[in-house]
Amino acid sequence: MNTKSILVVDDEPSMRIALSESLESCGYKVETSESGADALEKFQEDKFEVVITDMRMPGMSGMEVLRGIKKVSSRMPVIVITAYGTVNTAVEAMKEGAADFIMKPFSVGHLESLVKKVVAEKDRKGEGGSGHDSKGCLSRKKTIITRDEAMLALLELLKGVSKSKSSVLIQGESGTGKELIARYIHRHSDRAKMPFVAVNCAAIPGNLLESEMFGHEKGAFTGASRRRLGKFELAAGGTLLLDEISEMDVQLQAKLLRVIQESEVDRLGSEAPVPVDVRIIATTNVDLKKYVEEKKFRDDLYYRLNVIPVRIPPLRERRDDIVFLCEYFLEKYSQLSGTTMPALSKKVEQMLENYRWPGNVRELENVIERAVLLSGGETILPEHLYLEGEKNGQPAVKLIASKDVTLKETEKRLIFETLEKVEGNKTRASEILGISVRTIRNKLNEYGKMVEVGG
């Protein structure tokens, strides 16, 4: 089990409490500092897994904390917290080596996934396992809340087909609950007691994805200092979730197809294949059939995966669920923050029902979480909602190039401003901008050499 902690640096007591509570509920150990000076004094490389620091603090700033930590341990991931509207500071911090940034106000879920991602990236760079690989936050039971006829029928149907080993392809917009459904299938299968392992094909750069999935032997390539099991082997007997499968490059698609057909994997650099028994669930938020037509996705793999097709309707197509989910999240977040459960004003109810919900249930959860905080337990009013932007799926920002602003520069600003609008959520930004998450990642790399990807 992992014994390292997360160091949280923030001058505001309420933020320190909120951050440690949410991280602890994920199974992390947390230490806090109320100032940069105290943090640097406490800091020891082998004691901490990640450092999370606020940017604006009296005395030593978050930037100075970042520099101080990087001096002692260049590999220590540091996540910086910035205020809404100060994306420039975030960019500066990334240039100075911050692993990522999160913008206030943010949701607990977003922070959790960011920490998990950063820890996973660090592990991949050979820091040794952390114990949070497939457990931690994700293993907390999450219930599917719905009263929509179509969804209820789908859940009923899935209960039946869960038992087979057939591959499942779950299609649905971002935030519709694809991962939740994947876990539901696993839970209802005979494999429920075996591992459920997820790989996000969009978050991991192509060259690393192969060894991430199939593993490698010691010495398979420069830097492979020890043997590493791939996710296929880690999921043995259980279920492997291939998230955002559309982003996998075509060469790797061919290898994946072989593995599925033969039920055996070749670790990189290994002589003999290893048999594996794994149930595959793939998810995508693009129309994969169209990718097949455009030759961006292999048709043979598509048919292999699409044995049990599942389509989750977007939230705007299940109007009944909007208010139903609101009530559920109102209860959840008022309980978490210890306030009474606020009511929704009539106007707010209408606004929520008529909104397009491009980010689906995830967005709704974030909106309610923030509204509960802002309303302080009183009735939720329109000004607590922040439903701006993204009307009809248009980009949330308007930018016009002029003669002294280059296309590159405009592109960069558009990406950053969109990221800011969606609080750093790269999946949503990619949908608004109409580019893949992988492209956003590459662009961010290009702009600031922010995330060191692979050797």
Binder of residue 146, out of Mg ion, ligand ATP, none (CB less than 5 to 8 A by kind): ligand ATP
In contact, 30 and 51? CB cutoff 8 Å: no
- Can residue 179 be called a binding residue for Mg ion (CB under 5 A)? yes
Number of residues assigned to the chain: 455
179 near ligand ATP, rule: CB under 6 A: yes
Nearer to ligand ATP by Cβ, of 43 and 329: the residue is 329
Q: Which amino acid belongs to residue 420?
A: E
For ligand ATP, which is the closer residue by CB, 15 or 144? 144
Interface with ligand ATP, residue 176, by CB under 6 A: yes
Helix (H) or strand (E) holding 253: helix 250-262
Q: From the list 36, 172, 195, 342, which residue makes contact with ligand ATP (rule: CB under 6 A)? A: 172
Write down the least CB distance from residue 69 to ligand ATP, Å.
30
Does residue 174 belong to the site contacting ligand ATP (CB under 6 A)?
yes
- Is there a contact between 81 and 62 (Cβ–Cβ < 8 Å)? yes
Residues 6+ apart with CB under 8 A from 212: 124, 199, 204, 230, 231
Nearest to 314 by CA among 180, 176, 200: 176
Nearer to Mg ion, 201 or 432 (CB): 201
Contacts of 341 (CB under 8 A, 6+ apart): 330, 331, 334, 335, 377
Residue type, 293: E
Q: What is the closest distance, in whole angstroms, from the C-beta atom of residue 333 to ligand ATP in the complex?
A: 12
One-letter identity of residue 136: G
Shortest reach from residue 400's CB to Mg ion, in Å: 34
* Contact region with ligand ATP (CB under 6 A), list: 2-10, 295-303, 339-347, 357-365: 357-365
Q: How many residues bind ligand ATP (CB under 6 A)?
A: 18
- Find the helix or strand (DSSP H, E) in which 370 lies: helix 360-375
426: contact with ligand ATP by CB under 6 A? no
Q: Is 424 in the site for ligand ATP (CB under 6 A)?
A: no
Please report, as residue ranges, which positions from 106 to 135 form the binding site for ligand ATP (by CB under 6 A): 109
Which amino acid would we find at residue 149? E
318 binds ligand ATP per the rule CB under 6 A: no
Q: Which residues contact 387 (CB under 8 A, 6 or more apart)?
A: 351, 355, 367
146 binds ligand ATP (CB under 6 A): yes
Q: What is the DSSP code (8-state) at residue 396?
A: S
Nearer to ligand ATP, 324 or 447 (CB): 324
- Return residues touching ligand ATP (CB under 6 A): 109, 142, 144-146, 172, 174-180, 285, 361-362, 365, 427
